[in-house]
Amino acid sequence: MPASIPDVAREALILRVERALDAVTFPAHPGTLLDCAEHSGARADVIDALRALPDEAFGSFSEVTASIVASHDRQARPRALSAG
């Protein structure tokens, strides 16, 4: 089954976040992640995703992506329900 558009958009965002955070040493707090992303010239959607992270230390990139995916899915769900 092909990925839906929201899934493709989410995966593309995760790839952009990964590139933006290439130089980060974990554990890292959102402020550190934002500094690194801004320094790397990350797109606005990456900066927005990082700003939405909870204020806690992330031990790995997979923890960052899990939080971003959960937030992305929560935001997409109301739109999907209202579109139906």
- Residue 65, domain extent: 5-78
More confident residue, 76 or 43: 43
Residue 48 lies in a domain: yes
Residue 83 lies in a domain: no
Nearest to 56 by CA among 25, 19, 22, 31: 31
Counting the structural domains of the chain, the total is 1
So what's the pLDDT on residue 1?
A: 45
Distance from C-alpha of 13 to C-alpha of 3, rounded to nearest angstrom? 15
8-12, 47-51, 61-65 — which is least confidently predicted? 8-12
Task: Give residue-wise pLDDT tens across range 66-75.
Answer: 999 888 777 7
Q: Do 60 and 17 contact (CB within 8 A), yes or no?
A: no
Task: Compute the chain's Rg from CA coordinates.
Answer: 13
Residue 57 lies in a domain: yes
Task: Give residue-wise pLDDT tens across range 1-18.
Answer: 455 557 898 899 999 999
Q: Do 71 and 45 contact (CB within 8 A), yes or no?
A: no
Which residue reads 């974990």 in tokens?
26
